[in-house]
Structure formats: C-alpha cells, structure tokens
Structure 1
Amino acid sequence: MVFVLDVGNTNIVLGIYKDKELMVEWRLSTDYKKTSDEYMIEVSQLFNYSKIDVNEVSGVIISSVVPNIMYSLEHMVRKFFNKKPLVVGPGVKTGINIKYDNPKEVGADRIVNAVAAHEMYKSSLVIIDFGTATTFCAVGKNGDYIGGTICPGIKISSDALFQRAAKLPKVELVKPDTVICKNTVSSMQAGIIYGYIGQVDYIVTKIKQEMEAMGESCPIVVATGGLANLIAEGSTVIDKVVPYLTLEGLRIIYEKNKE
C-alpha cells in the first residue's frame, strides 16, 4: 500500500492506495504550528479508525504548496512509518515537460494534477483545481506543461465580500435558482456562484483559443477540488470532474520513482 499526502493551504488530503485502488481518503487542517508528534497522533487515529495496518504501507509520497509544514510532516513519516517520504519537486520523475519560464515556480499540486490527467486522457487538457486559489493549467497532448492562470478561490472571494462590506453577512456557498434575487443572502450567493461560473467559462474559453493556436486542438477540460461539482453544474466548458485527481497523480508519480 502507498500513503499519499496532498498538502494545500487549507487542508491536507491523505489517501491510501492498494495497487491502483484508492481505499480510503481523509482530510486534516493544514497547521504549520503542529509538531511531528501531533501529526503522528492524528494519522495514527485515522489508521486505527479505518482498521489499516501501518506495517502494510510500503511507501509514502508528499506534494506540498506549504514549505514551512514540511519538516513536521517528513519527520512524522520517518517516525511513524520508518520510511523516507518521496517529496514531489526537482529531481522527481513525472513524465511532464515544464515549459514555464522558471519551472521551480510551478506548484507541486499543479504538476501532480497534470500527471494524473495526462495519464487518464492522453489528450490536450485544461485542468482546473478549485482550492484556496483556483488554478487553470494548460497541458499539451504530449505531456508538455504549457502554463496557466491563478486567481482567488471562491471561498477567498466570498470571505472578502463579508469582511470588507459592513452590512453583508457571511453566506453559505449554495447556488440559487435565479440571478434576480429577492433578499441579501440569495443576492450574494448568486453573485458569488454565478459570477465565478462566468469567470471560469471566460478564462477556459481564452485558454482553449490560445491552445488551439498552438496546435493543441479540442482540449478536454478537467475539474477537481472541493467546489468542482458546484461550479461544473452551471459551467458550459467543464467536461470532466475528477474529485481525487491529485491523489491519483501522486500514486502515478510514486510508481514512476519507486525504484
């Protein structure tokens, strides 16, 4: 079994793979103040709750966009699993050719998503990851990471509206049936959700136009992340929603590097 960890700015998503099957998936809050022992206790409780024997874990792989948490996590892995984790970064084989001006600037999660989607579809791709930030990545049919766009995540946008406008309440991220609303809460929900759908559709349309000019015709648009389904319901451009795309990418990268 392989233990995979995707460390984001808000949550750490953890999973256990047996061969190519995702057996279980968990989430922890990202907290760089926690010690390796605190993380070890949390991970141990998850393993016990799911009745998984830690001794059956043959390897561990981590991708992270939060550098200051890595010491605690790597130390936890060494202590709890008695293994050195594979950390996605320079020198790790991915099969993706990064065309960024500075390849080191590309977030590990974006590369991992590209690996998974390329393996799944073998096509030109636009990958959208709805996380703390929303990332749009253009990937060529031959596995070239062409580039992309980063914008504030939908929760960041919602929180900013609540924090900066004195009379506006904090609202649940639910899509109203109409855009013309009769109360403040629904009006905010409509503006946030439908406005974000419009942003996604416009950015993806522009990316597809630029990709097609490069010879990357008819890219498949793949969405992942916690709010992917909510946005995909109203979007006209999203073709596929893959909830655990990043975890799948981590499994694939581990297989490429396990020797």
Structure 2
Amino acid sequence: MLLAIEQGNTNTLFAVHDGQTWIAQWRAATHSTRTADEYAVWLSQLLGMAGLAMGAFDGCIISSVVPQSIFNLRNLARRYLHVEPLVIGENVELGIPIRIDKPSEAGADRLVNAIGAHIVYPGALIVIDSGTATTFDVIAADGGFEGGVIAPGINLSMEALHNAAAKLPRVAIQKPQRIIGKDTVGAMQSGVFWGYIGLIEGLVARIKSEWDRPMTVIGTGGVASLFHGATMAIDHFDSDLTIRGMLEIWRRHSTKA
C-alpha cells in the first residue's frame, strides 16, 4: 500500500492507496512544528479505525509547500512506516517539461497538479487550485508546465478583510442568494464570493486570449466545490487531481527503479 502525504499551507492530506483505488483519506491542519511522533500518534489512531496498520505500507510519497515540515514527515515514514519516502522536489524526475524562467521556483503542488490533469484530460489545460492561494496553471497539450497566475485565496481574503476593518465581523464563506447584500454579513459574503467568481472568469478569459488556442479548465482544491454551478468558466471539478498526480509520479519512479 502507498501513503500519499499532500501538504498545503492550511491543510495536510493523508491518503491511502491499496494498489487499485484510494481507500482512505484524512485531513489535518498544517503546523510546521508538528513532530514525526505527533503525526504517528494521530495517524495510527485513524488507520486503526479503518482497519489498517502502520506496518502495512510499502511506499510513501510526500508533496509539501512547507519546507520546514519535510524533515518531520520524512521521519514519520522512516521511523513508523519503515519506508524511505519519495519527496517531490528532491531529485525526483517528474517527466514533464517545466517551461518557466526559474524551474526550481515551481511549487511541488502545481507540478503534481499538472501531471494529475494531463493524464486524464486531453489538450491544453488551465488548472485552478483553490486553497490558501488560488493558482491558475497553464498546462500545454504535451503536459508541459507553462507557468500561470497566483492570487490570494478566498479564505485569506475574507480573513484580511476582517482583520483590517475594525467593524467588519468574521463570517463564513458561502454562495449568497443575491448580489446586493442587505446587511453587513451578506454584503461581505457577496463581495468575496462573487468577487472570486469575477476573478476566475476574468483570468480564465485573459489566459485563453493570450494562449490563443482551445483550453479545458479544471477546478480543484479545498474550496473549489464552493464555485460548482456558479460559473461556466470551469469545465470540470476534480477533487482527486493532486493525489492522482502523486500516484502517477510514484508509479513512474517505481517502474524506473
């Protein structure tokens, strides 16, 4: 079995693949100071509830955008799973062209998404990943990573609005029934939600215009489901995009090994 650990700035996903399908997934808040022992206690409890054991794994792959956490995640795999993890970004051949000025600056999550999207969706793609940041990544028809756009995430924007304006409350993000808010909470929800729909639609249109050829748009990430049905700019919503890319990288590396 394979344990895939996909760590973002806000949440860390642990997913178990049995060789045929994903059989379990859990999320934890990302804390860069969490030790391997703390991860092990948490993970062992969840594995036990699913009828699984720490010793059942023969592989582990890690994708993290939090460099200071990689040491502890690697130790989790070594000490408790008894496997040497494959860490994306550390001399791991991804098998795709990275066509940006400084390839080393491309985030592991963005490259994994590129692979996960290319193996399923044909042609040129725009992958919109909605998390702490909202990224718009352009994937060429041959799978090459062409760069993209990075914007603040919707939760980050809502939090910044609350923190910077003394009289504005902290509110939950949801799709408002109307554009024009009738109270402060409704006005904030409308501004952030429909503002992000405008951001998505505007940037997708501009990217397509600059690319000047047909493109398919894929939405993924922790809050992507919020936008389902709210815009025609996104063609497909795919919650498993990242872990599919990690599985493909693992399989390619295992085949070469």
User: Quick one: which of 238, 241, 247 aligns to 1:242?
Assistant: 238
User: Quick one: which of 206, 216, 229 aligns to 1:233?
Assistant: 229
CA deviation map 1:46-74 (0-9, x unaligned): 11111113333110000010000111110
Residue 75 of structure 1 aligns to which amino acid in structure 2? N
- In structure 1, what is the equivalent of residue 219 of structure 2? 223
- In structure 2, what is the equivalent of residue 178 of structure 1? 178
Verify the 8 A CA contact 2:55 2:80 in the aligned structure 1: no
- In structure 2, what is the equivalent of residue 151 of structure 1? 151
CA distance in 2, matches of 1:68, 1:186: 39
Residue 251 of structure 1 aligns to which amino acid in structure 2? L
CA distance in 1, matches of 2:137, 2:204: 10
Equivalent residue pairs, number: 255
Identical amino acids, percent of aligned pairs = 39
CA deviation map 1:125-170 (0-9, x unaligned): 0001001011110000001111100010000000011111111111
CA deviation map 1:79-106 (0-9, x unaligned): 0111110001153122211001010100
Verify the 8 A CA contact 1:95 1:143 in the aligned structure 2: no
Secondary structure at 2:176's aligned position in 1? coil
CA distance in 2, matches of 1:65, 1:27: 16
Please give the TM-score of this superposition, normalised by the length of structure 2: 0.96
- In structure 2, what is the equivalent of residue 31 of structure 1? 31
Which sections of structure 1, spanning at least 5 residues, go unmatched? none
Secondary structure at 1:120's aligned position in 2? coil
After TM superposition, the structure 1 = structure 2 runs for residues 8-27 of structure 1, keeping only pairs within 5 Å, are 8-27=8-27
Per mean C-alpha deviation after superposition, the further-off stretch among 94-103 and 148-157 is: 94-103
CA deviation map 1:192-226 (0-9, x unaligned): 000010001101111111112xxxx2111001011
Runs of 4 or more above 4 Å deviation = none
CA distance in 1, matches of 2:55, 2:234: 40
CA distance in 1, matches of 2:56, 2:42: 18
- In structure 2, what is the equivalent of residue 205 of structure 1? 205
- In structure 1, what is the equivalent of residue 160 of structure 2? 160
Residue 162 of structure 2 aligns to which amino acid in structure 1? F
Q: CA deviation at 1:227?
A: 1.1
Which sections of structure 2, spanning at least 5 residues, go unmatched? none
Secondary structure at 2:12's aligned position in 1? strand
- In structure 2, what is the equivalent of residue 124 of structure 1? 124
CA distance in 1, matches of 2:226, 2:34: 32
CA distance in 2, matches of 1:20, 1:211: 37
